[in-house]
Amino acid sequence: MAQGEDRASNGRGAPAAGGRGRGSMWLLLLPFAALLVPPLYAHETPHLWGIPFFYWYQGVWLIVTAGITTFVYRRMR
């Protein structure tokens, strides 16, 4: 059968018990709150390396979002 040789799981230890760490998933709403209200960050200053606030604020939130997904993933694992 096609799926016969499936590596049935992630192969990294026992799977998480259903629902563990699910509460931390609410943190994933933070990037939406931060990025979907442009008046919060549509400003020219302060500059960072000559880059207007509007741009580097969104860049910082990309990194924060990556941090949040990492944190939530670790809590759920």
Are the CB atoms for 31 and 64 separated by under 8 Å?
yes
**Could you tell me the smallest distance in angstroms from the CB atom of residue 22 to other proteins?**
10
Among 21, 24, 31, 75, binds other proteins (CB under 8 A): 31
Closer to other proteins at the Cβ: 23 or 59?
59
Distance, in Å, from the CA atom of 54 to the CA atom of 37, rounded to the nearest integer, reads: 12
Is 65 among the residues that bind other proteins (CB under 8 A)? yes
Check: CB of residue 16 under 8 Å from CB of residue 77. yes
- Applying CB under 8 A, the residues found at the interface with other proteins are 1-10, 12, 15-18, 25, 28-29, 31-32, 35-39, 42-44, 47, 49-55, 58-59, 61-63, 65-66, 68-70, 72-73, 76-77
